[in-house]
Amino acid sequence: MSTFDPDALECLAAIVEEGGFERAALRLAITQSAVSQRLRALEVQVGTVLIVRSRPLKATTAGRLLLKHAMQMRLMRADLERDLKELAPGASSGSSRDEERISIAVNADSIATWALPALGALAREGLGLEIITDDQDFTIEWLREGKVLGCVTTLRQALRGCRLVPLGTMRYVAVAEPAYAAAHCPDGLSPRNFHQLPFIGFNRKDDVPSEFTCGALQLRQVALKHLYVPSSEGQLHAVLAGWGVSVLPELLVRDHLHSGRLINIAPGHAHRVELFWHCWNLDSVVLDSLTRTLTHAAVQALDQPGQAAGPELHSKK
């Protein structure tokens, strides 16, 4: 088996992660010509093209395989770093380099509620985390393409070479600012008004508002008016500012519902989304720590099988 130059592998990873040769050169502190030369040498060694020079740049099938190998090398270095710290706690960390980042993909609603606090301890220990956010139905594509080591997703079937851990179920409720609700949906969400209400979603891939409305009103499909704000916290701020209604994690809006700053406009219904942690099936201290940390936090925050769901929060009028 060929031995690949670690610098060339990191060059390939930088091109894909940064989306171009110029930004990869800046990150690696080398010239753009040197980036091209390293990639070309790797392509000659493999015997095939690794990057499709399109907009945006894309890795070929062979490129994705080598990208995954580069990520595995990062993981091995991170494991070694942790082992060395245990042997010599006072030793300086060498993980400040950009290429030592451990990348995972997590849906925005989990970041805004339970996942980010859970990862705090690992970050404070010096683990170079890169958290990539996407819709929960699409985070799995980052893992499938070898761009991350693990992801939180809705997919319930493990990918080849990966392990899967059920995390629990996240509950979503439909909320609005009280004055907005009084003016536009005084009797709550109904078949008469849903098509007139602006629903604040994450992005065009976010189908939770439509799924919630179908379930709440027992409709097969709906056409909603949408506004898009690409962060869970941003959606919350938009609702509080009276932009419209939004379907948000109950964990995120719980305090606002209790205080009366928001009301539940469909108190008899909650949309439930099952979440799973997928990661490469590798013997790694870092991956085990990530899995253990996220699983423990999810058990505390999310609804679990066999556990009675929390009470539905009713609107205050």
Number of other CB atoms surrounding residue 157 within 10 Å: 9
Domains by residue range for the chain, with CATH: 1-89 (1.10.10.10), 101-317 (3.40.190.290)
Q: Under a CB-based contact definition with an 8 Å cutoff, are residues 146 and 284 in contact?
A: no
pLDDT at position 313 is 46
Query: At residue 71, what is the residue type?
Result: M
Q: Give 257-299 pLDDT, tens digit per residue.
A: 999 999 999 999 999 999 999 998 888 888 999 999 999 999 9
**In whole angstroms, what is the distance from residue 23 CA to residue 25 CA?**
5
192: Cβ contacts below 8 Å, ≥ 6 apart: none
CB 72 within 8 A of CB 284: no
pLDDT in the model for residue 94:
47
CA angle 77, 79, 82 (to 5 degrees): 110
Closest CA to 275 of 184, 151, 126, 168: 168
pLDDT digits (tens, 9 = 90+) for 91-132: 544 444 555 678 999 999 999 999 999 999 999 888 889 999
pLDDT computed for residue 206 by the predictor? 92
Structure tokens of 312?
């539905």
Residues with pLDDT less than 70, the chain? 1-2, 86-100, 307-317
pLDDT of the residue at 309? 55
The pLDDT value given to residue 212: 97
* CB environment 29-65: b (16+ within 10 A), e (fewer): ebeeebbeebbeebbeebeeebbeeeeebebeebbbe
pLDDT score of 127: 85
Token digits of residue 13: 């990873």
Residue 311 has a pLDDT of 45
